[in-house]
A and B are shown apart, each in its own frame.
Chain A
Amino acid sequence: DQQVKQNSPSLSVQEGRISILNCDYTNSMFDYFLWYKKYPAEGPTFLISISSIKDKNEDGRFTVFLNKSAKHLSLHIVPSQPGDSAVYFCAAKSSGTYKYIFGTGTRLKVLA
């Protein structure tokens, strides 16, 4: 039972354009969400988070949107750069727990 789903295994985007990575979840108790970026042979690196009391959080080129009614979040990267090429994971947890559930990841390739 995959509670956090990233249905697109891969995505290619032209440099300078917008990258949109999607994440769906099934557990309505999830109230805190994270995005991580992972380069090959390295550990994941924290990118941005969002709490369920917000519907948007922005940090430089990265914006995360949360649609609680649809149980959907998305990560927007604008403008995309070749250095953004990596695997992106979303993760979610519910209040009162320390455990994050991770999605399976989306591999982003930004073409120069």
Chain B
Amino acid sequence: NAGVTQTPKFQVLKTGQSMTLQCAQDMNHNSMYWYRQDPGMGLRLIYYSASEGTTDKGEVPNGYNVSRLNKREFSLRLESAAPSQTSVYFCASSEVPGGEQFFGPGTRLTVL
């Protein structure tokens, strides 16, 4: 039982490049979330998926897109990376929408 897994762990991009952050959970949770953590800012919600087939914007969705591929997987895409997107990205899941969330280990992204 791996919980929430994220790939990659680290990534360096150049401005304008695109990439997809992958997240998967094996807890049969219905809801999944993407956060970013910046120094002094806490965790901010980018997008979430309350259940398979639905996605909604969080606090800071600009510059990102998401796909809830199936119940297990929720990916985050940066179409054209910007230095302001340098951050640590966390994926999380919860059994029910708004329930206690279980977090992955994070992806540290640097955009040059």
Q: Are A98 and B97 in contact (CB under 8 A)?
A: yes
Q: Flag if B42 contacts A43 (CB, 8 Å).
A: no
- CB under 8 Å from chain B, chain A span 19-34: 32, 34
Most B CB within 10 A of own CB, among A4, A46, A89: A46
Residues of B within 8 A of A89 (CB): 42-43
A43 close to B90 (CB less than 8 A): yes
* Interface range for A: 20 to 34
Inter-chain CA distance A49–B101, complex, in Å, is: 11
Interface size class on chain B is 20 to 34
Q: Find chain A residues with CB under 8 A from B59 CB.
A: 99, 101
- Residues on B with beta carbons closer than 8 Å to the beta carbon of A34: 100-101
Contact A100 B101 (CB under 8 A): yes
Q: Chain A interface (Cβ within 8 Å of chain B)?
A: 4, 32, 34, 36, 41-46, 49, 89, 91, 93, 97-105
The chain B residues found within 8 Å of chain A, CB to CB, are 4, 31, 35, 40-45, 48, 50, 56, 58-59, 90, 92, 97-98, 100-106
The 3 tightest CB contacts between A and B, nearest first, are A43-B103, A102-B42, A98-B97
7 extra interface residue pairs, beta carbon distance < 8 Å, beyond A43-B92, A43-B105: A32-B98, A43-B90, A46-B101, A89-B42, A98-B98, A102-B35, A105-B42
